[in-house]
């Protein structure tokens, strides 16, 4: 394993933070938010730390992506790029908070596509996040959903599922998630009789399939892969538009004739109305980050497929996906909020 | 025997100076952040993760694991001294631990807790060494119906744990259950008591509730009763438990180790229920149960042993099944990924040096923690010599900062204040916060698991009895609920009967309502 040799300001500050904790128990005061940093040289922006908010707890996919991006941006921008976790309401809390901040480029947020495209189908309108409130800077990657079955269920292909007698219990990663939408639409399209069993997140849903508590579930590939490799779960289908590079032998739903392309996309966004030069500098810095070997290796290790499109393309793509999902749920009379 | 060779090779890995150093660094950081309420091991590991990029995978995980179990040691200190339980699994430690501290026996409480934690941790590591592959399946056999039955049993224990009036304990527990319903419904997306506030969408966090009710509530109450405020300067000299204390605790430590080890394997709620079960078991076994809540040493030894054993055994699902049991474990999962190692079912066979290195580092880490505890207990106990006029505002400040750091949310700080006021009123009117907090923690586990189970059973509650583990747990529930009743019929006890059946009844009602 190549060591990611660098001593970014962030690492040094983390070190200082740890020392401070030992000395005076002040780590709590710092939390995840590292203190003020020195100015950049030459350019006017940035002169202080650029904060990246994450609408999920430390440790999840969104969080690790934020930290990988922050690492690279800190290097490129020459200022600290602290990651602040502000979990709540599927990420709506952090996103709305950042959307309300001044558009000066010092506050960024990692967006989850599902928050924009799927969650509005499950929650009331005034709680849904509108992508128009944000300046999307850059698309990052795509994290594919895969339909898995427990070995005890005997399912090896989608056809087995269709031929199964009786009702199938399928685990989802929660209400208003891609996991729920993808399966609800697939089951309707393929005319499979099924009941959704929502879990709190991917890990308990996966555990439930490994333990044969539910016969199938749809979780993100990164979580499922070790269990697939060990033969503890059987992959039936990927919900990506094209075959996933890490699962070349598993067909996609689209190939099987079911029009449910659902993936989790992630992008970096800022409050609406950034000054052009600031925006350009931030995009340049993100571009520099995603071009590094360390970042590419990070994507590979976590089984994220790069989907590095421009901010405008993200807005268009996500808006179209949102409309598509709404049309699908209406066509098949699916109500994500009924559980 | 090949596996034994691997175990020994693992010790060779740990004894490399770099690994020993990182183990020490990990447990020291862990202990310190454990002392700070709020900033938990998960957040700390997230911040320190970049530090581990440059070292070997096994070294990285040794340090991160050290932070995790070190924090369990540290958490006891604030629970006992300042009545601030940082985690759900140390709530019951507060009950007798703080009572002991007020009697000037904080050193005894902390000493017993340290010894208990050491033994509980070590027993669990031995279990991890020899039983991990055998018991890992236990975590998989626990589906939603089993969790529902376990949560039911846990809620029943809440009424046992309370030391004051049973009726008041039940009222407090009911309020706790109601508070657990706040937030977006995880099954339908419907808003429940959120008042259109996004901060409430995920419900109320445990930490603001516990810190408000226990910590801030206590401070406010003490302000009123100034003369009785925390001040026991002369008596804190006995920083170490006597032989008698240790002898009295030995049974509790043994039982706590076993309970903690097995329940800790369950992702989600295992450690909390283990500590509660350990406390309840000690109270039931005691010749004079009325001592509990007033400073019974077994009331500290049992749960503290159990929660440390549980913290250690919670590594079993991660290391043997590749399933992260909680946020901290998820981060370690991530740390391994960064190092190019995918934690999964094959970890033990593909990277035995990593598996055994980490497991064996825990033996060393536990010894280090015990050694550190001895002087630190004496040091921390001196906090109690600080005058209340200074200690109270500092504690309040730490509480607020702690609440803020969990979600970087001012809303949580406001919640601490609100629950502080509620805690003060509860204390004033003779209600204990313990039942409320514990019922609150178990409430969402019960609701989610029950509804999930019913979806699996097509709405039929009979399904609970067709599965061996959930059926056994439900039988245990009935026995625990009915036993006091039978005893009272025999005329041996009359006091316990009413509440025993009442709690069973209330839980059953709840089940029917949800159906």
Q: Where are the domains of chain B?
A: 2-514
Q: Does B345 touch chain A (CB under 8 A)?
A: yes
CA distance A315 to chain B (A): 24
**Contact check, Cβ <8 Å, A21/B202:** no
Helices (H) and strands (E) in chain B, counts: 23, 2
Q: Does A159 touch chain B (CB under 8 A)?
A: no
* CB A168, CB A218: distance < 8 Å: no
What pLDDT sits at residue A103? 93
Instruction: Give whole-number Cα distances, A68 to A61, A63, A64, A288, B14, in Å.
Output: 11, 9, 6, 12, 29
pLDDT-above-90 percentage for chain A: 65
What pLDDT sits at residue A209? 94
Q: Which segment of A122-126, A143-147, B188-192, B461-465 scores lowest on mean pLDDT?
A: A122-126
Contacts of A230 in chain B (CB under 8 A): 322, 344-346
**Contact check, Cβ <8 Å, B32/A21:** yes
Burial letters B6-38, b for 16+ CB under 10 A, else e: bbeebeebbeeeebbebbbbbbbbbbbbbbbbb
Question: Angle at the Cα of B439 (from B434 to B445), degrees rounded to 5?
Answer: 140
Alpha-carbon gap, residue A305 to A296, rounded angstroms: 10
**Contact check, Cβ <8 Å, A63/B44:** no
What pLDDT sits at residue B306? 94
What pLDDT sits at residue B510? 39
Contacts of B346 in chain A (CB under 8 A): 226, 229-230
Instruction: Give whole-number Cα distances, B8 to A122, B319, B360, in Å.
Output: 54, 18, 9
What pLDDT sits at residue B134? 80
Q: Does A46 touch chain B (CB under 8 A)?
A: no
Question: Which secondary-structure segment (H or E) carries B7?
Answer: helix B2-14
Which of A8, A59, A232 is the closest to B42 by Cβ? A59
For CA atoms B320, B325, B331, B334, the dihedral sign is positive
What pLDDT sits at residue B82? 86
What pLDDT sits at residue A291? 96
Question: What is the per-residue pLDDT across A179-238, written as a single tens digit (0 to 9) for each?
Answer: 999 999 999 999 999 999 999 888 889 999 999 999 999 999 988 998 999 899 999 999
Peptide bond connecting B422 to the previous residue in cis, omega within 30 degrees of 0: no
Which of A87, A199, A337 is the closest to B188 by Cβ? A337
Tens of pLDDT, residue by residue, chain B (515 residues): 456 787 788 888 888 899 999 999 999 999 888 887 767 787 788 778 878 878 888 899 899 999 988 888 888 888 888 888 877 888 899 999 999 988 888 888 999 999 999 999 999 999 988 888 788 778 888 899 999 999 998 888 887 787 778 889 889 999 999 999 999 888 888 889 988 888 888 889 888 998 899 989 988 988 887 655 454 444 555 667 888 888 989 999 999 999 999 998 887 777 888 999 999 999 988 888 889 988 899 999 999 999 999 988 888 888 888 877 777 887 888 788 777 777 777 787 788 888 888 888 999 999 999 998 878 887 888 877 888 788 888 889 888 888 888 778 899 999 999 999 999 999 899 898 989 999 998 998 999 999 999 999 998 889 999 999 999 999 988 988 887 778 777 765 444 444 444 444 344 443 333 33
Which of A15, A25, A93 is the closest to B198 by Cβ? A93
Alpha-carbon gap, residue B194 to B198, rounded angstroms: 7
Alpha-carbon gap, residue A223 to A220, rounded angstroms: 6
What pLDDT sits at residue B105? 87
Q: Does B191 touch chain A (CB under 8 A)?
A: yes
Alpha-carbon gap, residue B176 to B433, rounded angstroms: 9
Average pLDDT over residues A106-117: 94
| DSSP character at residue B89 | G
**Contact check, Cβ <8 Å, A18/B48:** yes
What pLDDT sits at residue B209? 92
Alpha-carbon gap, residue B370 to B36, rounded angstroms: 19
Number of other CB atoms surrounding residue B487 within 10 Å:
15
What pLDDT sits at residue B318? 82
User: How large is the ipTM?
Assistant: 0.82
User: What residue ranges define each of the domains in chain A, with the CATH number in brackets?
Assistant: 9-142+264-325 (3.40.190.150), 144-262 (3.40.190.10)
| DSSP character at residue B212 | I
Contacts of B327 in chain A (CB under 8 A): 57-59
Alpha-carbon gap, residue A6 to B244, rounded angstroms: 55
What pLDDT sits at residue B515? 31
What pLDDT sits at residue B3? 65
Task: For residue A146, give every residue at least 6 positions away whose Cβ sits within 8 Å of its Cβ, in sequence order, or none.
Answer: A218, A219, A220, A221, A224, A228, A235, A237, A238, A239, A244, A247, A250
DSSP-derived 3-state class of residue B429: coil
Q: What is the pTM of this model?
A: 0.83
């Amino acid at each position: 394993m190549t060591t990611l040799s660098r001593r970014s300001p962030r690492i040094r500050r983390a070190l200082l933070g740890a020392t401070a904790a030992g000395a005076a128990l002040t780590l709590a005061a710092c939390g995840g938010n590292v203190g003020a940093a020195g100015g950049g040289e030459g350019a006017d922006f940035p002169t202080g730390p650029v904060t990246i908010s994450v609408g999920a707890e430390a440790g999840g996919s969104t969080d690790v992506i934020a930290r990988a991006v922050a690492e690279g941006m800190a290097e490129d921008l020459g200022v600290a790029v602290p990651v602040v976790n502000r979990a709540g309401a599927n990420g709506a809390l952090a996103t709305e908070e950042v959307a309300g901040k001044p558009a000066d480029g010092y506050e960024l947020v990692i967006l989850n596509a599902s928050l924009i495209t799927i969650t509005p189908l499950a929650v009331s309108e005034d709680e849904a996040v509108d992508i128009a409130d944000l300046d999307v800077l850059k698309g990052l990657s795509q994290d594919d959903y895969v339909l898995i079955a427990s070995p005890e269920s005997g399912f090896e292909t989608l056809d087995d599922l269709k031929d199964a007698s009786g009702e199938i219990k399928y685990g989802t990663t929660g209400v208003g998630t891609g996991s729920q939408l993808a399966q609800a639409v697939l089951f309707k399209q393929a005319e499979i009789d099924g009941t959704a069993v929502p879990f709190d997140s991917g890990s308990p849903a996966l555990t439930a399939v490994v333990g044969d508590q539910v016969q199938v579930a749809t979780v993100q590939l990164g979580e499922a892969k070790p269990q697939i490799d060990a033969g503890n779960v059987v992959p039936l289908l990927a919900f990506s538009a094209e075959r996933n590079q890490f699962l070349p032998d598993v067909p996609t739903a689209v190939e099987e004739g079911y029009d449910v392309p659902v993936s989790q996309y992630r992008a970096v966004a800022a409050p609406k109305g950034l000054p052009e030069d600031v925006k350009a500098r931030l995009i340049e810095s993100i571009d520099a980050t995603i071009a590094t070997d360390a970042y590419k290796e990070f994507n590979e290790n976590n089984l994220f497929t790069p989907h590095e499109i421009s901010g405008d393309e993200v807005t268009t793509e996500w808006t179209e996906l949102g409309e598509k999902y709404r049309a699908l749920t209406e066509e098949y009379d699916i109500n994500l909020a009924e559980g | 025997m090949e596996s034994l060779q691997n175990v020994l090779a693992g010790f060779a890995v740990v004894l490399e100076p770099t690994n020993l150093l990182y183990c020490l660094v990990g447990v020291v950081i862990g202990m310190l952040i454990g002392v700070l309420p709020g900033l938990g091991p998960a957040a700390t590991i997230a911040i320190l993760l970049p530090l581990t990029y440059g070292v070997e995978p096994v070294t990285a995980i040794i340090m991160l694991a050290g932070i995790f179990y070190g924090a369990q040691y540290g958490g006891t200190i604030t629970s006992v001294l300042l009545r601030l339980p940082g985690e759900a699994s140390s709530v019951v430690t507060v009950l007798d631990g703080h009572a002991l501290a007020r009697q000037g026996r904080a050193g005894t409480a902390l000493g017993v807790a340290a010894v208990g934690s050491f033994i509980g941790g070590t027993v669990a590591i031995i279990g991890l060494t020899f039983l991990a592959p055998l018991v890992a399946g236990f975590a998989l056999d626990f589906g939603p119906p089993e969790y529902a039955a376990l949560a039911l049993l846990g809620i029943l224990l809440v009424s046992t744990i309370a030391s004051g009036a049973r009726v008041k304990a039940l009222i407090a527990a009911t309020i706790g259950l109601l508070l657990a319903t706040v937030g977006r419904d995880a099954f339908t997306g419907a808003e429940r008591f959120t008042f259109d506030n996004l901060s409430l969408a995920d419900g109320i966090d445990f930490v603001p509730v516990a810190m408000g009710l226990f910590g801030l509530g206590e401070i406010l109450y003490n302000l009123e009763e100034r003369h009785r405020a925390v001040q026991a300067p002369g008596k804190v000299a006995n920083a170490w438990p006597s032989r008698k204390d240790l002898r009295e605790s030995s049974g509790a430590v043994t039982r706590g180790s076993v309970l903690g080890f097995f329940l800790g394997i369950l992702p989600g709620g295992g450690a909390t229920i283990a500590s509660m079960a350990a406390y309840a078991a000690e109270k039931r076994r005691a010749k004079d149960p009325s001592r509990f809540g007033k400073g019974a040493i077994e009331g500290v030894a049992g749960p503290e042993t159990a929660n440390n054993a549980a913290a250690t055994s919670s590594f079993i699902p991660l290391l043997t099944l590749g399933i992260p049991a909680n946020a901290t474990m998820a981060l370690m999962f991530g740390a391994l990924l960064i190092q190019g190692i995918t934690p999964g079912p094959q970890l033990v066979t593909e990277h035995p040096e990593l598996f055994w290195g980490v497991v064996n580092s825990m033996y060393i880490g536990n010894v280090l923690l015990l050694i550190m505890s001895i002087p630190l207990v004496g040091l921390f106990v001196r906090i109690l010599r600080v005058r209340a006029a200074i200690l109270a505002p500092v504690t309040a400040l730490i509480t607020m900062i702690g609440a803020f750091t969990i979600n970087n949310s001012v809303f949580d700080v406001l919640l601490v204040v609100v629950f502080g006021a509620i805690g003060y009123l509860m204390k004033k009117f003779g209600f204990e916060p313990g039942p409320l907090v514990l019922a609150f923690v178990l409430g969402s586990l019960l609701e989610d698991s029950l509804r999930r189970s019913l979806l699996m059973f097509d709405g039929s509650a009979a399904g609970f009895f067709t599965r061996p583990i959930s059926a056994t747990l439900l039988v245990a529930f009935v026995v625990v609920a009915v036993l006091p009743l039978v005893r009272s019929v025999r005329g041996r006890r009359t006091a316990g009967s009413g509440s025993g059946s009442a709690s069973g009844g209330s839980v059953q009602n709840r089940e029917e309502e949800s159906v």
